[in-house]
């Protein structure tokens, strides 16, 4: 049922945070927020989502949208005898240096389209392309950030534009000309540009907002780091930072500061509940306790981390210390948060040679493990980027997706084991409808602008790589 001020949808099943319930309807108001979840008997003329289960929208907490252009272009050996994150990075730079503002828009829109088609309704964009290809600033220093935001909003997604601070190539490391589009050497310049962007994006509809993203300890020296995080805290902005992704990063931090990245952040008072440590792979038990004590969040990106050979996020140890873990698709070698959720568990199974590693021993129900992983992809992600969604609660936005209960990947699942079937087995093709703020952006597995988005992206790829 759609009226001038209410929209009511009735799926066969609705995830309420603990179980799937039937014979209920989701009612949203004119502002696109959840008004109530009500018995279907109390409403008339609801939009019937037959054969569908509805779940809160997924939140992708870590994205580099422009990297969508290099998918499939790095899966080969280079001249190096040992290919790694660092050799992959050089190939990524070669693409980053050639993108025009309109290219950034087209690449980003393609990445965000894929997210929408897989049930994502909000994204945290870790954005570090700031300057023109020659390294000079655009007249508008936030031109490329705005292109990314425009792409997300044109697809219909919410976006936290996590503006990256990048000041150097590394400790006692010569300037890298391939990073010339990233570098802002002065924290004053960075904060001025951040505030300019925030003034344009932080709108009441919560479709786009800003956050602070010091790239890493190797890219931002301590004084710069402290200044911008203090400014972020004063503004109540979220802070995201690559932390301990690579052993070389940890070693360099110890060489420069005598402390590991997490120890540095902790002892300098830079961790709090609004801080998200992206990756946090090479961390000690002490570092995990420091993250827990600060109530910081970790964003794991398992698909990218295994693609780059980064290592395995110690999610079992993070869970044991009650550290919230969110999920991101990072380099977009694949965009599927369910794949990232299940990989969080599966990688530990391979490492420990046992099953059901991340289950809470106090809750042995059939959906218990799946519910923990689904929370990483929804509630924890929303908390990480400051998104308003993540659950069907009154006053939260009506951001949700549906899965086809007859899709071959999950057909036959009961209400009790459906969430486990979705998290561990669902194909992306099972996602059929996506709503953001009470507005439908994906219908029967397709986006209204899908053909044009794909066509423009194909033309971009031909120009870049022919």
Residue positions annotated with a catalytic role: 279, 330
Beginning with the edge strand found earlier in the chain, give each strand of the sheet holding 275-279 in spatial order: 58-63, 120-127, 158-165, 208-214, 239-243, 275-279, 297-300, 324-327
Per the DSSP assignment, residues forming a β-bridge with 400 are 56, 435
Measured at the CA of 285, the angle between CA 279 and CA 290, to 5 degrees, comes to 75
Measured at the CA of 302, the angle between CA 301 and CA 304, to 5 degrees, comes to 75
DSSP string for residues in 151-212 = HHHHHT-EEEEEEEE---SSTT----GGGTTT----HHHHHHHHHHHHHHH--TT-SEEEEE
Query: In terms of DSSP bridges, do strands 58-63 and 120-127 run parallel, antiparallel, or are they unpaired?
Result: parallel
C-alpha distances out from residue 336 to 115, 135, 266, Å: 7, 34, 32
Largest separation between any pair of C-alpha atoms in the chain: 69
Question: How many CB atoms are closer than 10 A to CB 135?
Answer: 14
Per the DSSP assignment, residues forming a β-bridge with 160 are 124, 209
């Amino acid at each position: 049922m759609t009226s001038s001020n209410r929209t009511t949808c009735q799926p066969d099943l609705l995830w309420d945070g603990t179980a799937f319930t039937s014979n209920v309807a989701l009612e949203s108001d004119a502002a696109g927020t959840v008004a109530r979840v009500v018995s279907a008997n109390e409403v008339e003329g609801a939009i019937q989502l037959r054969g569908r289960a509805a779940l809160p929208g997924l939140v992708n907490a870590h994205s580099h949208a422009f990297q969508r252009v290099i998918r499939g272009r790095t899966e080969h050996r280079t001249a190096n005898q040992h290919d790694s994150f660092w050799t992959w990075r050089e190939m990524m730079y070669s693409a980053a240096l050639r993108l025009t503002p309109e290219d950034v828009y087209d690449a980003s829109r393609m990445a965000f389209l894929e997210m929408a088609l897989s049930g994502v309704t909000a994204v945290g964009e870790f954005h570090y392309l700031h300057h023109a290809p020659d390294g000079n600033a655009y007249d508008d220093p936030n031109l490329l950030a705005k292109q990314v935001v425009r792409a997300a909003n044109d697809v219909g997604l919410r976006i936290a534009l996590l503006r990256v601070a990048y000041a150097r190539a590394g400790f006692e490391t010569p300037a890298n000309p391939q990073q010339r589009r990233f570098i802002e050497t002065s924290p004053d310049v960075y904060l001025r540009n951040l505030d300019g962007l925030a003034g344009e994006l932080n709108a009441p509809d919560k479709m786009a907002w800003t956050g602070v993203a010091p790239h890493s300890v190797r890219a931002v020296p301590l004084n710069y780091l402290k200044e911008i995080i203090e400014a972020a805290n004063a503004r109540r902005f979220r802070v995201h930072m690559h932390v301990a992704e690579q052993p070389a990063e940890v070693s360099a931090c110890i060489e420069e500061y005598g402390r590991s990245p997490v120890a540095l952040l902790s002892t300098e008072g830079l961790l709090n509940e609004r801080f998200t440590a992206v990756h946090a792979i090479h961390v000690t038990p002490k570092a995990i306790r420091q993250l827990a004590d600060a109530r910081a969040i970790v964003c794991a990106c398992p698909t990218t981390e295994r693609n780059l050979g980064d290592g395995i996020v110690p999610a079992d140890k993070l869970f044991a210390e009650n550290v919230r873990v969110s999920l991101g698709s990072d380099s977009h070698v694949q965009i599927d948060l369910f794949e990232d959720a299940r990989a969080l568990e599966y990688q530990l199974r391979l490492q420990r040679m046992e099953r059901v590693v991340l289950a809470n021993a106090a809750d042995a129900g059939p959906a218990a493990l799946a519910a923990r992983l689904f929370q990483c992809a929804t509630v924890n992600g929303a908390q990480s980027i400051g998104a308003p969604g993540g659950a069907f609660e009154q006053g939260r936005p009506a951001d949700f997706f549906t899965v086809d209960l007859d899709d071959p990947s999950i057909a036959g699942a009961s209400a009790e084991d459906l969430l486990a079937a979705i998290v561990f087995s669902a194909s992306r093709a099972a996602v059929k409808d996506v709503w953001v703020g009470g507005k439908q952006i994906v219908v029967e597995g397709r986006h209204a602008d899908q053909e044009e988005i794909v066509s423009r992206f194909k033309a971009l790829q031909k120009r870049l790589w022919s």
